[in-house]
Amino acid sequence: MAVNSTSSRKTGKPANGRPPKPYADFPLTAYPAGYWCKQIRDKTVYFGRWGRRVDRKLERVEGDGWKAALDLYQLQVHDLQAGRTPRTTDDGLTVAQPMSDQLFDPKGPLGPVRPVGERQHHFPVLATVH
C-alpha cells in the first residue's frame, strides 16, 4: 500500500485554539489544558499557563504566558534533567539581624538578663528520691 507523503503531516497553527510556539527553537509545548509543558525523563512537567477556563471554555492569557513559563523552565531544567526536585528561588531563610547580635544582646529575645536567684521557673520542679 502506497503512503501519500502529504496526508499525514500537520502544519500551521495547533488545534483547539492553542497558541503557536513564539519562535522556532522554543523548548515548551502548548498542552491542550492551557499549560506550557515539556517531557523530561519520561514525565510531563508543566511550567506556566497559556489559557484559563472561564465558563467551561478555555480562554487565552494575555501574551500567552510564554515568557514566565520559559523563565521557570530555565530555572528548573537542569535539576529536572538530573532527576532532582527543582530548587526554589526562596530558601525560606531571612536574616534580619545577625545571630551574634541576638545572642549577646543583654535585652535579647527572652528579655533582660537577671541573676540566677531572680529567675522564675516556668516548669515543675521534680523531686528526686535517693
Q: What is the tens place of the pLDDT at every residue in 101-124?
A: 555 555 555 566 566 555 555 555
Q: Looking at the domain assignment, is residue 47 inside a domain?
A: yes
Q: Looking at the domain assignment, is residue 21 inside a domain?
A: no
- Residue 71: give the domain boundaries: 29-81
Q: Looking at the domain assignment, is residue 115 inside a domain?
A: no
Q: Determine if the pTM surpasses 0.85.
A: no
Q: Looking at the domain assignment, is residue 101 inside a domain?
A: no
Q: What is the pLDDT of residues 56-106, one digit of tens each?
A: 888 998 899 999 999 999 999 999 999 998 876 665 555 555 555 555 555
Quote the strand ranges of the chain, DSSP E.
Answer: 29-30, 35-40, 43-49, 51-54, 57-60
Which residues contact residue 81 at a Cβ distance below 8 angstroms, ignoring those fewer than 6 apart? 40, 41
Q: Looking at the domain assignment, is residue 42 inside a domain?
A: yes
Q: Looking at the domain assignment, is residue 67 inside a domain?
A: yes
When divided into structural domains, the chain yields a total of: 1
